[in-house]
Amino acid sequence: MVFRSFMQQALDEARAAAARGEVPVGAVVVSPMGEVVARAGNRTRELADPTAHAEILAMRAACKALGSERLPGHDLYVTLEPCPMCASAISQARIARLYYGAADPKSGGVAHGPRVFTHPQSHHVPEVYDGIGAAEAEALLKAFFAAKR
């Protein structure tokens, strides 16, 4: 099977989030058949909801579409290293593979901070692939925060 990256769609969601005044992070959930089942960008401000991160919204929509609280065999693409909350939700959703773009030394929870998947309490650990489309994701974030200052 040829590897097909869905990071461009996640980056599209990140750009759309920036246009809404949200931190530009986007996420896409892909089914075991290789189909996009959900995509989302950050909406924490719009929804006045600190949990409305792109990953959470995308997984929530995918679960709803599937009628299940778990997404076994599904892949998640996200433009930024997931935070501890999202990493925990990824584990609980039984996501098979996590592909992320930019590293997040400040708020990340996968390769930084609590490193959620390394804990024994993380009952499911996805395969993790980092640095996918990282340059583009970083450029989006830098431009967004530069404009804020």
Identify which of residues 44 and 133 has a Cβ nearer to Zn ion in the complex.
Answer: 44
d(CA 23, CA 1): 34
Identify which of residues 53 and 74 has a Cβ nearer to Zn ion in the complex.
Answer: 53
Identify which of residues 1 and 74 has a Cβ nearer to Zn ion in the complex.
Answer: 74
Number of H helices, E strands in the chain: 4, 5
Kind of pairing, strands 75-80 and 26-30?
A: antiparallel
Residue from the set 27, 29, 86, 140 that interacts with Zn ion by CB under 5 A: 86
Stretch near Zn ion under the rule CB under 5 A, chosen from 50-58, 61-69, 113-121, 129-137: 50-58
Residues in the chain: 149
Q: Does 83 bind Zn ion (CB under 5 A)?
A: yes
d(CA 55, CA 65): 15
Binding site for Zn ion (CB under 5 A): 53, 83, 86
Active site members: 55
